């Protein structure tokens, strides 16, 4: 019997998806639940599992092609007794965005990005050399040990190796540079520009085309904020949360947005109306192996610093593991991007269209400042705000940043 | 009105009860359904625990009537009251199953007695002992229904003469002649037990070795020991063709390589294996299907094809081991609680409580060679262990196999006194990816049986102190040189 498998509804509001790559070829024997194809929507990349066991009779569509939900993408030839109704796939994939409590957890199984295929550290049985607790730590952090370089004897991976792999942002340790004489100049190479990377490109181009950007930059004396965060950090750690500066900025931004709601608006060009958004749903740009993703922390109004820290931790972990659901990435009203963790004086961010403003959080560094006529060392950070000039004027932007700055310079206000 | 629960565990054996407790520890509510009134499953009620109690008692009896004499201890009038022994064994079982009930109470885990079957993906029907049924809807389920004894169509168990292992742990008197159909773990443990109590025991095994699948060296050593027992006979490559029961006596026809043999026995124990308990679950109603042998396939998070239904223990795949079920239960519970946990076991230990005991973890020598390893073997005999001799035990050895290229442990196989207790160290070593050198460099308490692990690890490099035996099966010199480089 032949089963025609249609592209299932992957998530709310998704009507089409692009074939990133086929994971099977025609003639392959597949098992039920075996991943067939990687489909990318404008929100996530998902592996679509086979609805049944059988032989792949036909693949409809090539990598790069955009397929509408409900279109037949695979024809599976089933051997007689194993035949199953085609009802099943819809239910299976529905778990990707299913009920929050139970089936949402199932989504990790479906949406996980494939483990990077690279040669494991030499060890008997082809398994990575690491103690059980180290392996568990890697699972918890969502790290594939086969791409971590071990510092121990025979390449043994320690817990420190796993932790530092994570803070390195997942970069694979590069072997020591060969001497200049032996360097060979590689040829130009080409790589398909597709998947999430292409979506990012399209999205950013749209933003720059539609929204005339202007940027506004100011410096903030965060000496007190540094002190308060230092004080709160161990308390947060006791609760299992790493306290960064981001939750403080989120709180300050939310308070300021109450006073300058135009920065939390969006332009409905069709209706010719400016839509003031009720909730402050803050997008938080996260750098992942697959590129930049912007999960949303919803309804931050009135949330405590710790609550925000918990929420940020949860979403960024999901982002790094590649297990974000479409729901995690929709509904943003204002975006924050932490440029400072990498370095630089400040960056000028591009608006996450159709939002109208994005705030860049830059590096904190100790610099000489004049306080009460004397030059003293202070912790200073730049804030860089980009706005859609169709909606926001320079004075609004300046007043908004002034308010955020005032809150961050006297951070006790953020705790009440 | 259907009862609604967040999580349900079907089966309260070492997989199910452990999963339930872990779920509770992680803040999840859980309902456990088991068809038996007593918790603990096969392991606690009819398997591991009662058989070990009996075996310990038989060892004690054998020491008093045999070994003790040699040490100048003469015991007279020693006898076995089997009924009393069974009662003591039952007491041990009750204590442990009651302990689980206590833990359930402590963790506020609800328990319903009844046979559960699926109605759909989110509903179970429970057939209770009083013939009533209850319906339960759930968000997540763990199938932990374990396994049951396989029966042979031509050897129908009657519970009197033809018995299974459940009956064999509850006999009222020691059989005069016990014929064992199957020389696997369960049969041999019970066979040695009854042999120690005085029964004539004949083992009939179809395969060319006892304990099929286990490392040949240790199995051969065990077979030699069993052969020395005057009241034990082993037929390999043999088959019980028929059993005729007449007036409480069985006439057993055995096909051996030497020809047909007819035995007269008062008990015939059929112990040829176990099969997963999945047939009564109506799996198809939940969208699941067991394979031809009854196993349910899972991924490494123990999820079945239906992502919110998990399966653990004997129902997933062999080996059928209590501790494997428990481990899988822990992983499934963590996954349900939202943790990114996965089953990641590199060493699965197993033991046979015969006399001598057999304990094994990792690859057998045959498997290691099949996988293309260049294998180095280090072996150390208990006859050279001070502690073993002070216990009047000198049978057996510890055998360590390593990958010659990396010195990493591939498998450890032991036969001898209390070797099951020695498995912990080597299992941890294998999980850690340790080398034989790691074991050899670790100071081992003297005098203990564990020193044989260290000595066998030294023997891998040809450096065992207390053994004049041959160098390891690779040239000793080469290994010693390699050691310097490692």
Question: CATH no. for residue B260?
Answer: 3.50.50.60
Are B27 and B94 found together in one domain? yes
pLDDT of B362: 97
Are B193 and B298 found together in one domain? no
Smallest CA–CA separation between A194 and chain B, in Å? 29
In the beta sheet, which residues pair with residue B245?
B250
**When comparing pLDDT for A295 and B100, which is higher?**
B100
Average pLDDT over residues A179-191: 65
**Is residue A195 scored above 80 in pLDDT?**
no
pTM equals 0.61
Average pLDDT over residues A295-309: 91
Tell me the pLDDT tens digit for each residue of B73-95: 999 999 999 999 999 999 999 99
Residues of B with CB under 8 A from a CB of A: 6, 121, 139-140, 287, 299, 301, 303, 305, 307-308, 335-336, 338-342, 344, 346, 373, 403, 406, 408-410, 431-433
Q: Which chain A residue is nearest to residue B403, measuring alpha carbons?
A: A124
B341: in domain: no
Are B233 and B307 found together in one domain? no
Q: Which chain A residue is nearest to residue B140, measuring alpha carbons?
A: A102
| Mean residue pLDDT across chain A | 80
Cis amide prior to B91 (ω within 30 degrees)? no
pLDDT of B58: 97
Per-window interface: A 139-158 vs B, CB < 8 A: 139-140, 142, 154, 156
* Beta carbons within 8 Å of B102's beta carbon, 6+ residues apart: none
Domain boundaries, chain A: 2-111, 124-165, 212-415
pLDDT of B471: 64
**When comparing pLDDT for A237 and B38, which is higher?**
B38
Contact residues on chain A for B307, CB-CB shorter than 8 A: 92, 95, 103, 106, 109-110
| Mean residue pLDDT across chain B | 94
Are B290 and B412 found together in one domain? no
d(CA B169, CA B352): 16
Is it true that domain A124-165 has CATH number 3.40.50.800? no
Tell me the pLDDT tens digit for each residue of B293-349: 999 999 999 999 999 999 999 999 999 999 999 999 999 999 999 999 999 999 999
Are B75 and B33 found together in one domain? yes
pLDDT band at B68, cuts 50/70/90? Answer: confident
**Is residue A319 scored above 90 in pLDDT?**
no
Distance linking the first and last C-alpha atoms of chain A: 66
B157: in domain: no
Helices A305-321, A246-259: crossing angle, 10 deg rounding: 110
B155: in domain: no
Are B222 and B103 found together in one domain? no
Query: Does the beta-carbon distance from A102 to B346 stay under 8 Å?
Result: no
User: Which residue range is the domain that position B418 belongs to?
Assistant: 350-485
**Is residue A340 scored above 80 in pLDDT?**
no
pLDDT band at B216, cuts 50/70/90? Answer: very high
Which of A28-32, A39-43, B327-331 holds the top average pLDDT? Answer: B327-331
**Is residue B439 scored above 60 in pLDDT?**
yes
Are B474 and B382 found together in one domain? yes
pLDDT of B97: 97
**Is residue A235 scored above 80 in pLDDT?**
yes
pLDDT band at B180, cuts 50/70/90? Answer: very high
Query: Does the beta-carbon distance from B338 to A105 stay under 8 Å?
Result: yes
pLDDT of A82: 35
Phi, psi torsion values for A346, nearest 5 degrees: -160, 160
Query: Does the beta-carbon distance from A102 to B139 stay under 8 Å?
Result: yes
pLDDT band at A122, cuts 50/70/90? Answer: very low
Query: Does the beta-carbon distance from A136 to B341 stay under 8 Å?
Result: yes
CA-based nearest residue to A92, from B305, B370, B408 = B305
B83: in domain: yes
Are B454 and B325 found together in one domain? no
**When comparing pLDDT for A158 and B33, which is higher?**
B33
d(CA B238, CA B256): 4
Average pLDDT over residues A185-193: 79
| DSSP SS3 for A191 | coil
pLDDT of B462: 92
DSSP state of A153: G
CB neighbours of residue A27 within 10 Å? 9
pLDDT of B33: 98
Ordered alpha helix ranges (H), B251-321: none
**Is residue A110 scored above 50 in pLDDT?**
no
Are B255 and B379 found together in one domain? no
Are B362 and B475 found together in one domain? yes
Is residue A260 within 8 Å of A396, Cβ to Cβ?
A: yes
Looking at the structure of chain B, the number of domains it has is 3
- Percent of chain B predicted with pLDDT > 70: 96
Query: Does the beta-carbon distance from A131 to B340 stay under 8 Å?
Result: no
Boundary residue ending a domain (B336, B361, B387)? B336
B342: in domain: no
Are B113 and B190 found together in one domain? no
Task: Name the least confident of A364-368, B137-141, B233-237.
Answer: A364-368
pLDDT of A237: 87
Average pLDDT over residues A278-298: 86
**Is residue A176 scored above 70 in pLDDT?**
no
**Is residue A102 scored above 60 in pLDDT?**
no
B476: in domain: yes
Instruction: Output the DSSP codes for B217-257.
Output: HHHHHHHHHHHHSTTEEEE-S-EEEEEEEETTEEEEEEEET
Average pLDDT over residues A30-58: 81
Most B CBs within 10 A among A94, A110, A124, A139, hence the mutation to make, goes to A124
* Beta carbons within 8 Å of B472's beta carbon, 6+ residues apart: B376, B377, B378, B379, B459, B460, B461, B462, B479
pLDDT of B483: 42
Query: Cα dist. B399→A126, A382, B410, B436, B453 in Å?
Result: 23, 66, 11, 11, 8
- Is A224 within 8 Å of chain B by CB? no
**Is residue B473 scored above 80 in pLDDT?**
no
Identify the CATH class of A2-111.
mainly beta
**Looking at the partner chain, which of B305, B340, B406 has a beta carbon nearest the beta carbon of A139?**
B340
ipTM reported for the complex surpasses 0.90? no
Question: CATH no. for residue B356?
Answer: 3.30.390.30
CB-side neighbour CA atoms (13 Å) of A342? 10
Contact residues on chain A for B433, CB-CB shorter than 8 A: 123-124, 127, 129-131, 156
Are B460 and B359 found together in one domain? yes
Is it true that domain A212-415 has CATH number 1.10.357.10? no
CB-side neighbour CA atoms (13 Å) of B415? 20
Query: Cα dist. B41→B44, B48, B219 in Å?
Result: 6, 10, 29
């Amino acid at each position: 019997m032949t089963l025609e498998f249609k592209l299932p509804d992957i998530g709310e509001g998704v009507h089409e998806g692009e074939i990133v790559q086929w994971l099977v070829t025609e003639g392959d024997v597949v098992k039920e639940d075996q991943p067939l194809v990687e489909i990318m929507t404008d929100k996530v990349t998902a592996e679509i599992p086979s609805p049944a066991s059988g032989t792949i009779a036909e693949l409809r569509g090539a990598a790069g092609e955009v397929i509408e939900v409900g279109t037949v993408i695979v024809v599976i030839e089933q051997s007689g007794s194993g035949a199953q109704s085609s009802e099943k796939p819809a239910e299976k994939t529905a778990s990707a965005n299913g009920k929050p409590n139970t089936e949402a957890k199932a989504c990790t199984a479906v949406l996980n990005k494939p483990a990077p295929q690279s040669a494991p550290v030499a060890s008997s049985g082809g398994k990575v050399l690491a103690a059980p607790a180290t392996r568990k730590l890697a699972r918890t952090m969502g790290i594939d040990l086969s791409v971590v370089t071990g510092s121990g004897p025979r390449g043994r991976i320690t817990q420190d190796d796993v932790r530092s792999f994570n803070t390195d942002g997942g970069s694979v340790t590069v072997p020591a540079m060969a001497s200049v004489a032996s360097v060979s100049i590689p040829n130009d190479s080409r790589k398909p520009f597709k998947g999430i990377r292409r979506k990012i490109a399209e999205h950013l181009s749209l933003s720059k085309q539609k929204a005339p950007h202007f940027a506004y930059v100011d410096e903030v004396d965060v000496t007190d904020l540094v002190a308060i965060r230092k004080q709160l950090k161990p308390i947060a750690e006791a609760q299992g949360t790493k306290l960064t500066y981001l939750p403080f900025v989120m709180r300050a931004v939310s308070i300021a947005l109450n006073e300058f709601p135009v920065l939390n608006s969006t332009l409905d060009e069709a209706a010719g109306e400016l839509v003031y958004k009720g909730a402050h749903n803050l997008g938080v740009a996260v750098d992942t192996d697959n590129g930049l993703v912007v999960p949303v922390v919803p309804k931050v109004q009135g949330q405590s610093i710790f609550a925000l820290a918990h929420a940020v931790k949860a979403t960024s972990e999901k982002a790094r593991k590649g297990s974000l659901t479409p729901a995690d990435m929709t509904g943003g009203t204002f975006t924050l991007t932490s440029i400072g963790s990498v370095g630089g004086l400040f960056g000028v961010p591009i608006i996450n269209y159709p939002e109208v403003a994005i705030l860049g959080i830059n590096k904190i560094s100790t610099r000489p400042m004049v306080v009460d006529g004397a030059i003293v060392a202070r912790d200073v950070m730049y804030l860089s705000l980009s706005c859609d000039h169709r909606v926001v004027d320079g004075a609004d932007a300046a007043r908004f940043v002034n308010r955020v700055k005032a809150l961050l310079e006297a951070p006790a206000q953020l705790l009440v | 009105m259907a009862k609604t629960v967040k999580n349900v565990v079907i089966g309260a054996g070492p997989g199910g009860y452990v999963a339930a407790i872990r779920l509770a520890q992680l803040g999840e509510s859980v309902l456990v359904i088991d068809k038996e009134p007593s918790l603990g499953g096969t392991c606690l009620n009819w398997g591991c625990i009662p058989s070990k109690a009996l075996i310990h008692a038989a060892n004690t009896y054998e020491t008093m009537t045999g070994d003790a004499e040699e040490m100048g201890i003469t015991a007279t009038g020693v006898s076995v009251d089997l009924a009393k022994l069974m009662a003591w064994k039952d007491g041990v079982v009750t204590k442990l199953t009651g302990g689980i009930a206590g833990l359930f109470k402590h963790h506020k885990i609800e328990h319903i007695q009844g046979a559960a079957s699926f109605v759909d993906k989110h509903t179970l029907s429970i057939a209770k002992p009083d013939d009533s049924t209850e319906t339960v809807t759930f968000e997540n389920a763990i199938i932990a229904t374990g396994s049951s004894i396989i029966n042979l169509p031509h050897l129908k168990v009657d519970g009197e003469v033809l018995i299974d292992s459940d009956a064999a742990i509850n006999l009222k008197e020691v059989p005069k002649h016990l014929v064992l159909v199957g020389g696997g773990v369960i049969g041999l443990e019970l066979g040695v037990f009854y042999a120690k109590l005085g029964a004539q025991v004949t083992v009939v095994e179809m395969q060319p070795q006892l304990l099929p699948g286990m490392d040949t060296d240790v199995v051969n050593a065990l077979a030699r020991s069993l052969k020395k027992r005057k009241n034990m006979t082993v037929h390999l490559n043999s088959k019980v063709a028929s059993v005729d029961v007449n007036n409480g006596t069985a006439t057993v026809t055995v096909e051996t390589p030497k020809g047909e043999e007819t035995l007269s026995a008062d008990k015939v124990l059929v112990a040829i294996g176990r099969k997963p308990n999945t047939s009564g679950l109506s799996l198809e109603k939940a969208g699941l299907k067991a394979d031809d042998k009854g196993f349910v396939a899972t991924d490494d998070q123990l999820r079945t094809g239906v992502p919110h239904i998990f399966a653990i223990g004997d129902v997933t795949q062999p080996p059928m081991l209590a501790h494997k079920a428990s481990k899988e239960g822990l992983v499934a519970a963590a996954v349900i609680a939202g943790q990114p946990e996965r089953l990641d076991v590199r060493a699965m230990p197993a033991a046979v409580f015969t006399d001598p005991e057999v304990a094994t973890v990792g690859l057998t020598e045959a498997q290691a060679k099949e996988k293309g390893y260049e294998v180095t073997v280090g072996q150390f005999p208990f006859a050279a262990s001070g502690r073993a001799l002070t216990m009047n035990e000198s049978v057996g050895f510890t055998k360590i196999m390593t990958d010659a290229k990396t010195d990493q442990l591939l498998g450890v196989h032991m036969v001898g006194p209390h070797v099951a207790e020695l498995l912990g160290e080597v299992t941890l070593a294998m999980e850690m990816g340790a080398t034989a050198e790691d074991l050899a460099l670790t100071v081992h308490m003297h005098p203990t049986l564990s020193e044989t692990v260290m000595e066998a690890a030294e023997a891998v490099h040809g450096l065992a102190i207390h053994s004049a035996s041959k160098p390891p099966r690779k040239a000793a010199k080469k290994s010693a040189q390699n050691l310097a480089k490692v």
